[in-house]
Amino acid sequence: MTIYFGENLKKLRKSKGLTQEDLADFLGMSFQAISKWERNETYPDITILPTIASFFGVTVDSLLGTDMIEKEKRINEYRENYLRLISKGKTSQARDMLKTAISEFPGNYDLLSKYLNALIYAQYDDSYLLSIKAEVLRIYDNIQNYCTVDSIRIWTKKLMCRYLRDLSLIKNSGVDIAEAEKILEQMPVMQNTRDYEAMYMYPHDDEKRAAACANGISEMLRLFGEIMNRKYKNFLDADDNISEAYLKLVEAVMPDGDYGKSHYLMVIYNQRLGVKKYLAGDEKSALAHFEKALTLAKKYDEMPDVLVHTSNAVKGLEFDKTKAYRFWEGSFFEDVKDGLMNRPELPEEFKNSQEFKKITKNI
C-alpha cells in the first residue's frame, strides 16, 4: 500500500508558502525531521497528526492520504477485473465495466486506454465499428494531447492504427488507409522497443541479462509467428515449408513444450497446415496436425494462470496467461474443435470419419 503522508505534507506546506524551517518552528521540531517526513523516510508520532492537520485546515484522513489509498485500491480492482475479463475473451463486458471506471476516474489514462482497447474490440461488425468512431477519436485525442506516459501513448497509437485500418476496409466509411499510416510513422521501429533494448542493458549482470534475453527470445518467436501468419491474406497461399519451419523452430527453442506466448500460434499453424495437407491429398499428415492442434489447445485450457518456463533458452521466464492475447471466449479446445468442424475446405465425409472422430473423442 502506498503511503501519501510525505507527498501531502509537502504540497500543503508549499501551498501556504512555508519553508521546512517555518513548519518545524511551529511544531517545535527540527527541519531535518520535516525533511525526512516529506521523503517518507520517517513518520511523525500519531499524537502530532491532529495538530498538523488542524494547522493546514484538513482532516487527519486527508493528511494521511487515506482517500487516495482507497482510490488506488478501487483503480486496481478495475484493472484486475479488466485482465480477468479479457483473459476469458469477454471483451464487451470489459468495455461496459471500464465505461463505469472512467466515469469514476476520468483523469486516469491507464483505465482510459484500456477502455479504448475494449471499446474497439468488443464487436467486429462494420456497423459497430462505424458507430463508435466519434468516441474512439475523442478518447485517442485526449490521450495523445494530455497523457504524459509514453507507453500509454504508443499503445493507443497502435490501437488507432488497427481501428483506422478496419474502417478503411468498410465501404463509404470516409477513412483511407493513409490516415493509419500517418500514425504508424510516429511509432518506434522494432529495434527501439523496450524488450529489444533490455537485452543490451546488463553486460555485467548475468542474471538480469539472461532474464532479458529469455523475454526477448519469447517475444521474438511470437512476433515472427504473427508476421508469417499475416503475410498472406489467405492462409492457403502460405508456404508450407516456412510454416513447418516455424513449428520446428519453436519446438527446438522450447523442447519442454512450454511455448508460452507462442502457444496459440502453435495451435493455429498446426490447424492450418492440417487443412493444407488434406487438400494436398495427405490425409495422414492432416490428421496428425489436427490432433496436435487439439492437444495443444486442451493443454492451454489446463495450463495454470502463470507458467514458469523450464526450457533452457527461456528458463525461469514467467508466462501470465491472464494477460496474454486471446481471440476466443471460453474453452480454447472447443473453439478449435468448432473451427475444424466448420472448415469449408473439409468435407462432411472427412469430419464424420472414424479417424477424425477418434481424435476429438480421445482428446
Asked whether the beta carbons of 225 and 243 are under 8 A apart, the reply is: no
Per domain, the residue ranges of the chain are 5-64, 90-187, 194-362
> Which residue is listed with cell 542493458?
201
The neighbouring-strand residues paired with 318 are: 308
Give every CB contact of residue 347 below 8 A, 6+ residues apart in sequence: none
DSSP string, 342-362: T-TTS-HHHHTSHHHHHHHHH
The CATH code for residues 5-64 is 1.10.260.40
Confidence of residue 272 (pLDDT cuts 50, 70, 90): very high
Mapped onto helix, strand or coil, the DSSP state of residue 312 is helix
Q: Average model confidence (pLDDT) for the chain?
A: 91
For 28-68, how does the pLDDT look when each residue is reduced to its tens digit (9 = 90+)? 888 898 999 888 888 888 888 888 888 888 888 778 776 66
CA nearest 85: which of 337, 329, 340, 318? 329
pLDDT value of residue 2: 55
Dist. CA 316–CA 210, nearest whole Å: 9
**pLDDT tens digit sequence for 233-260:** 788 888 889 999 999 999 999 999 999 9
DSSP 123: -
Amino acid (1-letter code) at residue 226? E
In whole angstroms, what is the distance from residue 212 CA to residue 142 CA? Answer: 33
Measured CA to CA in angstroms, residue 270 lies from 248, 259, 299 at distances of 11, 14, 14
Would the pTM of this model clear 0.75, i.e. be above it? Answer: no
DSSP character at residue 165: H
- φ and ψ at 303, to 5 degrees? -65, 145
Asked if residue 1 has pLDDT above 50, the reply is: no
Residues 102-159: pLDDT tens digits?
A: 998 888 999 999 999 999 999 889 999 999 999 999 999 999 999 999 999 999 999 9
Report the candidate in 293, 304, 305 with the shortest Cα–Cα distance to residue 333: 293
Question: How far, rounded to the nearest angstrom, does the alpha carbon of residue 125 sit from its chain's CA centroid?
Answer: 23
